[in-house]
Amino acid sequence: MRKKIAFVCDDCGADHNKWQGQCAHCGAWNTLVEVRISQNASPINQIRNLNKSTNLRVEKNHPKKLADVRLEEIQRISTTFDEFDRVLGGGLVPGSVTLLGGSPGAGKSTLLLQLACNLSDSVDILYVTGEESMQQVALRANRLALPRENLRLISETRLHSILAIVNDLKPAVLVIDSIQVMFLDELSSAPGGVSQVRECSAVLTQFAKQSGTVLILVGHVTKDGLLAGPKVLEHIVDCSLLLEGDASNRYRSLRGQKNRFGAVNELGVFAMTDLGMREVKNPSAIFLDRKDRSTPGSVVTVVWEGTRPLLVEIQALIDSNTQANPRRLAVGLDQNRMSMLLAVLHRHGGINLVSHDIYTNVVGGIRILETSADLALMLATVSSMQDFCLPSEMAVFGEIGLSGEIRPVQNGQERLLEARKHGFKRALIPSGNKPKLSIDGLEINAVSGISEALALIS
C-alpha cells in the first residue's frame, strides 16, 4: 500500500507538501505536524470499502428538475426535551448530523445519556462511549434514575469496528461520545488530531446520509470556547450546538450556532440538578430574580433568542481609577461593542468615563449576541456613574448608532408583550418600534436619540 507524507496544521487543518515554520492558510507558527496517509484513506475510498464490507446498498443518483422534487413532510424524532427540540427546530431529522460541543463539565454526556435512555423506549438507539467505560456510564444512568432496559451501549474508539456493529444493529439514532477519540486504521496520526477528526467525521457523515441514521457527535472545545478540530467539522454537520455553562452556575444554555432545519441562535435553557438536566420552561423568570429594592446600575432588557423573546438583567459598575490604564470588563457582552458605546456616550451624551473602571455583567450567565441591548447597557452605565436607580418596572431595548441615534430592532411588538406578561409597566424603546395601538397596562416611551433617553431617566 503506497503512503504519502503530508504536513497538516493543527489549528486549521490545512495540508502542505513540505514542512514550514508558518502555516500558509491561518498564519499560525510551529503548528505543522507530519502525517502519513495511505492512498486509499480518503473519505470516498473509505465509504466504498465500507459499503463492500457492510453490504450497504447505495442507489444511483439521477438529476431531477427542482419542480419534480417531492415536498413531503419529514417525520422528526422528538428528543423528549422541549427545549432541545426548540433548538433543533422541532426534533431530530433522519439522516442528519448534529454536533454538540461544550466545555468540560458543562453536561454534554449527561444530557445525551438522558436523551438516549428516554428515547430507547420508542426508538432503536446505540450509544458509543469512547471516553468512559460501560460501567461508568451505567453508574451515571443508575444515579440519575434513568430507564436502562432498552438502551444499547458499546465502548469503542476504532471507527471501522463501530460501523460494522452499526450495520448489524441498524439503529435509528447513533450517538458518538466523542469524535475526538475516534480513529481510522489508515491514518497514522494520533486520535484527536486534525486528520483523524476530519476523516472520521467525513466517514460518519457519509454513512449517516446513505443509511438515514440520525448521528449525534460530541465535540470538545478549546480554551477560547470554540469547537476543537478542523473548521471543516462545523461545515459538514447539519446542526452545530454549543452547551454553555460551568460548574459555578447551575443553569446551562444550549445555543444553536448552525441549523439547516431551523432557526439559528435559538436558545434552550437547562438546570443541572442531582437527577441530571432539567429543562427550564420559562427562562425569563430565572434571569429576572430581582430584589424588591432597586439598585444603581441595573436595568432589564428584552433580547430576541431564536424564535422567542427573553428578559435579562444587565448590571454595570463604575469605579474611579487612579492608574494609567482603567479596567474594562464585559461578562456576557461584546467588550468591543461596549467600548464603542462608551465613545458614543462621551461624544453625544457628554459623559466622560475615561478615568473610570467599568464592569458590566449579564445576570444568569447568558451571553447576549444581538445589538438590542445597547440602550440598556448605556443606561445601566449612566445609572451607576451618577448613582441613581432606574425604575424597577421599566424594560429597555434598542440599538445605538455611532451618531447617537437609537435604531429600531426586530420583533418589537413581541418584546413589549413579553415585558408586560412579566409585570413591567413601562418600556423605553426606539421610536421606530412604537406600536400603532397602545398596550394595556404598559406605558411606552419612544425615543430617537440618546439625549432624549438620558433626559427621560434623569
Q: How confident is the model at residue 43 (pLDDT cuts 50, 70, 90)?
A: very low
Residue with more model confidence, 340 or 73: 340
State pLDDT tens for residues 408-419.
Answer: 999 999 999 999
Instruction: Report the percentage of the chain scoring pLDDT > 70.
Output: 91
CB-CB contact of 268 with 336 (8 Å): no
Average pLDDT, the chain: 87
State pLDDT tens for residues 247-256.
Answer: 777 888 899 9
CATH architecture, domain 286-457: 2-Layer Sandwich (3.30)
Please tell me the predicted confidence (pLDDT) of residue 290: 57
CB-CB contact of 376 with 300 (8 Å): yes
Amino acid at 309: P
The span from the first CA to the last CA of the chain, in angstroms, equals 78
Cβ-count burial 91-105 (b if 16+ within 10 Å, e if not):
bbbebbbbbbbbbee
Q: How confident is the model at residue 30 (pLDDT cuts 50, 70, 90)?
A: confident
For 237-373, where are the alpha helices, taking DSSP H only? 283-287, 335-349
Please say if the pLDDT value at position 293 is more than 70.
no
What's the topology of domain 40-54+77-281? Rossmann fold (3.40.50)
Please say if the pLDDT value at position 13 is more than 80.
no
Q: Average of pLDDT values for 67-85?
A: 86
Task: State the pairing for strand pair 97-102/152-155.
Answer: unpaired
State pLDDT tens for residues 171-185.
Answer: 999 999 989 999 998
Q: Average of pLDDT values for 65-86?
A: 86
Q: Average of pLDDT values for 49-71?
A: 65
Is the backbone peptide bond immediately before 161 cis, with ω within 30 degrees of 0?
no
Please say if the pLDDT value at position 231 is more than 60.
yes
Q: Cell for 259?
A: 441549523
Please say if the pLDDT value at position 84 is more than 80.
yes
Please tell me the predicted confidence (pLDDT) of residue 435: 92
Q: How far apart are CA 68 and CA 255, in angstroms?
A: 35
The H or E element containing residue 116 is helix 108-119
Please say if the pLDDT value at position 55 is more than 60.
no
Amino acid at 191: P
Please say if the pLDDT value at position 215 is more than 70.
yes
Q: Average of pLDDT values for 238-254?
A: 86
What are the two backbone dihedrals, phi and then psi, of residue 382, each rounded to the nearest 5 degrees? Answer: -65, -40
Residue with more model confidence, 202 or 31: 202
Cβ of 18: how many Cβ atoms within 10 Å? 8
Q: How far apart are CA 297 and CA 357, in angstroms?
A: 14
Cβ of 185: how many Cβ atoms within 10 Å? 11
Q: Average of pLDDT values for 327-343?
A: 94
Q: Average of pLDDT values for 11-36?
A: 80
Q: Cell for 344?
A: 458614543
Among 432, 434, 373, residue whose Cα is nearest residue 408? 432
Q: Cell for 410?
A: 426586530
Q: How far is CA 143 from CA 113, 138, 150, 280, 300, in A?
A: 12, 9, 17, 21, 38
Please tell me the predicted confidence (pLDDT) of residue 1: 46
